[in-house]
A and B are shown apart, each in its own frame.
Chain A
Amino acid sequence: MFTLEGVSLRYGGVRAVNDVSLTFETGARVALIGPNGAGKSSLLSLMGGQTRSTSGLIRLGERDITTLGPYRRANLGITRSFQITNLMEGLTAREQAELACMTPGRRGWVRARGNQDSKQRAESLLADWGVPERTWDVRPESLSYGQQRSLELALAMARSPKVLLLDEPNVGLTGQENTALVRRIAGLDPKITVVLVAHDMDMVFGFAERVIVMARGKVAVDGSPEEVRKNQLVADIYFGTGGEASK
């Protein structure tokens, strides 16, 4: 269970995330939607630890992780992908996979013990996630966009996370790649909590059991896909009349 209690994020006078309280059950499939600037990515960064909240509590299970940095959270099993493909440009897919497969200890430091087989694990990770073998030893820039997204997802999944945060994983994908991605996400271990930020409604309604609509840093609507689809407020926010809807 992943819990946010009254979490806020302020940049100067702007409240990017404003007093958000949410609970994600283990294994939940949640989509986070909302207009640009609604605070979706900010919320994801607060959950992943890339940004520290200005107030509120964040818990994983019973554990308070509010002040833990990103690497500590990653080692607790909270992992994420980034909105813009965020790979390590100068490293081959194989090297990146190996980095993702090595397990840093509590201090975020890799020890030799327990990591001897990271090379083999990296290869099976790449194979499992459909990164073609002939691209393993080239740099990511020569991979297709879809392959890069596959690789990025593979990196996030390398250490069997408990919570997977995906920031617009389907942006820029072709129709086929998108279908493949949706299927792949649907096929994830049901014990993994998945929170996905998306603009594409087909993806959202194809995947989510629960949809959270954000507007102006707050949770506007939180419910099943059916409820959200029927919600007039959502239609208003989403299709451009956000200003009025949130009044």
Chain B
Amino acid sequence: MSKKRTTNDLPMESSSTTGAARTDGAASGGSSTATRGNPARRPRWKQPLATGVAAALLILLPLLLTPFHQDLATRIVILALLAMSLDLIYGYAGMISLGHAAFFGAGGYTVGMLMVDGGVTNFWVGMAVSVLVASVVAAIVGFVALRTRGIYFILVTFAMGQMIYSLAQQWDVLQTSGAEAVVGIAPPEVSPLVIQWTSLNMYYFTLVVAGVAALVLYLLVSSRYGLVLRGIRENQQRMSALGYNTWLYQYSAFIAAGAIAGVAGVLFAYYSGIMAPANVGIAQSGLIVLMIIIGGVGRLWGGVIGAVVVELAGFLADQYAPDHKNLVLGALFVVALVVLRAIAITGKKRASRRRSEEGAHVHA
């Protein structure tokens, strides 16, 4: 052992020993070790296959549903996008925000008011302005919140989210409709297309827009930008010592996540026809966090799974125990936190035991 170890740790006489270390690696079957230890080296066909199956389900399944259930599917798609946008900052950049619904609300309220009070029915205009507003709100919240870290960051996002929530509650003074909610939002004109707004078409419209937004998120997290974010999540001090402006990366991710949440908010306004303060508040923000914890933090499709689970649970609770919906969701939250955390920990232990065996293998 000691001999090999020397070879590994002594390749300071550059070329010759490096060569030795490499041969050494090949000799002890290093590549298979690496394959087992590394999630990035899974068989290449698995991910495209899973994506294909998921896409087929998303496209075909609603054809079999009643309009009532198609609406539920639309809602799930929207919330999945919202959860994925939070995962960009939570799972990838390591910032837990409890005010994320505020950007969702900013998008939804803006498009609703543009339509109801301003008569703007064009989708492109409504979407552009609303996403801009959501980004600006995120830029303001993020600027303040990023002066803090850890628990203080969570509290600042929570407090600012609640400020926006109470703003939404008092919005009636500025509004012609005179209610705290924006009501009477209609599906948009998506020029040059002419869409018959059935439940099914609303679903497909939502799916396409959310799909584009999700693709943007995917490109972000799988690029160098995403790698830098993950580095910052793991070790901010180290990343700044490597020359990265960690603040700028976190801030930009916060704004990007806010913008995508704004897209989800716009879709939600079109879909439900109403934006209410409840869509903006801590309850909504908490549900998004719940979704990505259930579905898995730090992988975008986790948000989709979480949205399916949470929304289905909410839907079933509505059906069978309408008076106890929050009780059901609360219980789900507790179970998710306790059980999934336990699984996560034991899973990690198992993985690290496996890794340490591999480690022993590596050092042997």
Asked if A108 lies at the interface with its beta carbon under 8 angstroms from chain B, I say yes
Inter-chain CA distance A187–B11, complex, in Å, is: 12
B5 at the interface (CB under 8 A from A): yes
> Would B241 and A74 count as touching, CB distance under 8 A?
yes
**CB atoms of A90 and B359 under 8 A apart:** no
Contact A137 B38, beta carbon cutoff 8 Å: yes
Given contacts A86-B235, A90-B234, A137-B34, contact A130 B241 (CB under 8 A): no
Q: Is B196 an interface residue (CB 8 A)?
A: no
B9 lies within 8 A of A133 (CB):
no
Name the segment of B23-31, B60-68, B304-312 touching the other chain: B23-31
A91, A107, A147: the one within 8 Å of B245 (CB) = A107
Chain A nearest CB: distance from B118 CB in Å?
37
| Partner among B10, B31, B235, B358 whose Cβ is within 8 Å of the Cβ of A88 | B235
A127 and B355 within 8 A (CB): no
Taking residues whose C-beta sits less than 8 angstroms from the other chain, chain A's interface range is 35 or more
| B40 CB within 8 Å of chain A | yes
Those of A101-150 within 8 Å (CB) of chain B: 102-104, 107-110, 112, 115, 118, 127-130, 132-139, 141-144, 146-147, 150
Give A57 to B12 CA distance when docked, in angstroms: 37
Enumerate chain A residues within 8 angstroms of B18, measured Cβ to Cβ.
127-128, 130
Q: With A109-B245, A130-B18 given, is the CB distance from A142 to B228 under 8 Å?
A: no
Contact A91/B234 with A74-B243, A99-B228, A108-B248 known, Cβ cut-off 8 Å = yes
Asked whether B5 lies within 8 Å of A176 as measured between CB atoms, the reply is yes
Q: Whole-angstrom distance between the alpha carbons of A144 and B38 in the complex?
A: 17
| Cβ contact of B38, chosen from A89, A92, A107, A141, cutoff 8 A | A92
Give residues of chain B (87-105) contacting chain A, Cβ–Cβ below 8 Å: none
Contact with A along B198-224 (1 / 0, CB 8 A): 000000000000000000000000001
Task: Write out, one digit per residue, whether chain B residues 1-16 have a CB within 8 A of any chain A CB (1) or not (0).
Answer: 0100110111111100
Q: Is the CB of B10 within 8 A of A130?
A: yes
Shortest beta-carbon distance from B226 to chain A in Å: 11
Tell me, yes or no, whether A61 is within 8 Å of chain B by CB.
no
Using Cβ atoms and an 8 Å threshold, which residues of chain B touch A89?
234-235
B241 / chain A contacts, CB cutoff of 8 Å: 48, 50, 70-71, 74, 79-80, 82, 156
- A100: CB under 8 A from chain B? yes
Interface residues of B in 339-354 (CB under 8 A from A): 352
Complex contact B30–A134 (CB within 8 A): yes
* Shortest beta-carbon contacts, A-B, top 7: A134-B30, A108-B245, A130-B11, A88-B234, A74-B243, A138-B37, A137-B38
B contact residues vs A (CB 8 Å cutoff): 2, 5-6, 8-14, 17-18, 21-22, 24-26, 28, 30-31, 33-35, 37-38, 40-41, 224-225, 227-228, 230-231, 233-235, 237-246, 248-249, 352, 355-356, 358-359, 362-363
Residues of A within 8 A of B (CB): 48, 50, 69-71, 74-75, 79-80, 82, 86-92, 95-96, 98-100, 102-104, 107-110, 112, 115, 118, 127-130, 132-139, 141-144, 146-147, 150, 155-156, 158-159, 176-177, 179-180, 183-184, 187
Q: What are 30 residue pairs bridging A and B, where the CB atoms are less than 8 Å apart in the complex?
A: A69-B240, A74-B242, A82-B237, A90-B233, A90-B234, A91-B230, A95-B227, A107-B245, A109-B248, A130-B10, A130-B12, A132-B22, A132-B30, A133-B25, A133-B30, A134-B31, A134-B34, A135-B30, A135-B34, A137-B35, A137-B37, A138-B34, A141-B352, A143-B359, A143-B362, A144-B8, A144-B362, A146-B8, A150-B9, A184-B12
